[in-house]
Amino acid sequence: MPTSDQKKIEARFDRESLAWREIYRRSDRNPFAYHDKLYRKRYVLDLLGRGSGRVLDLGCGAGEFFHELKLAGFSVTGADFSAEMVRLAAQAGDGRNPVVRADAVRLPFCSGAYRGLIGVGLLEYLPEDETLLAEILRVMEPGGTVVITLRNARCLERRLWKFYTRRGWMKPEAIGFYREHNLKDFQSLVARIGFTGFEYRFCHFYPIPWPLSKIGGKVNNFLAHFCERIFSRSRISWLGSTIICRFQAPDRK
């Protein structure tokens, strides 16, 4: 990654670390409030499943997955490139989870060290996928499970945001490097790297386009909950703005 982009991303997440932590601490019980990151968290944990052994939360942020990962039976390690995120993550849960500041494509871990790995909101801030996936494969146990989130390039709502941005009606969403993914291309790359058992589902639905969603906020949010229930497991690739992928490291026996 160009140094200038990396510095911008580090500065952004250092500055917004507390805000990102609070995203995962909201209640999802109000049907007229749609907290998309809570759906993403639930689906990531469901796809990873329960088990034992060590799990790496790569790009762990403030460590808001640590508690649930431990409840699922895992021993958790966190890694992030933001110094402020690492500081907050070290305090997460019971404060006993090892957390390191690290570059995702040059991890300071032994080969075959982890039974599971999650990478939530990570790939969009890296310049390419192949180097990261090869590094993930290196640190995974044979048969270990990887869960990665992607921003969906085919999503109609995201295409509309791009149109607004080109017209100058909205500012670019992210500071620094930012990418979206084509699901089929990513699936092909995952297989070429050597992973198996690719599965996916969608999340983050925005049924009423902006700026109408601001006017009819409660209706938009209620419909978003409906879309999560009906379309999250569908194969309609242009609805959900985020893709959650699960795949396995090959069994080398």
Domain that holds residue 83: 3-152+175-205+242-248
Adjacent-strand bridge partners of 101: 80
Does residue 24 sit within a domain? yes
For position 215, what pLDDT does the model report?
80
In a domain, 31, yes or no: yes
Q: What is the largest CA-CA distance in the chain?
A: 57
Number of domains comprising the chain = 1
In the sheet where 242-248 sits, what is the strand order?
99-101, 75-80, 54-58, 114-119, 140-151, 242-248, 196-203
Whether residue 181 lies inside any domain: the answer is yes
pLDDT in tens, the chain (253 residues): 444 466 777 677 767 766 767 777 777 777 678 999 999 999 999 999 999 999 999 999 999 999 999 999 999 999 999 999 999 999 887 778 899 999 999 999 999 999 999 999 999 999 899 999 999 999 999 999 999 999 999 999 888 878 888 888 777 655 445 799 999 999 999 999 999 999 999 999 989 887 788 788 889 999 999 999 999 999 999 999 999 999 999 997 5
In a domain, 235, yes or no: no
Structural domain contains residue 94: yes
Q: What's this model's pTM, rounded to 2 decimal places?
A: 0.90
How far, in Å, are 187, 195, 214 from residue 147 at the CA level?
13, 12, 32
Inter-helix orientation angle 130-139/183-193, to 10°: 50
* pLDDT tens profile 31-88: 678 999 999 999 999 999 999 999 999 999 999 999 999 999 999 999 999 999 999 9
Note whether residue 138 is domain-resident.
yes
> Looking at residue 94, what is its pLDDT?
77
Task: Please indicate, yes or no, if residue 58 is contained in any of the structural domains.
Answer: yes
Helices in the chain by DSSP H: which ranges? 3-15, 17-23, 36-48, 66-71, 83-89, 130-139, 156-166, 183-193, 212-215, 217-231
Task: Report the CATH number that the domain containing residue 136 is assigned in CATH.
Answer: 3.40.50.150
| 56 three-state secondary structure | strand
Number of Cα atoms under 13 Å in the Cβ half of residue 95: 1
> Would 161 be classed as within a structural domain?
no
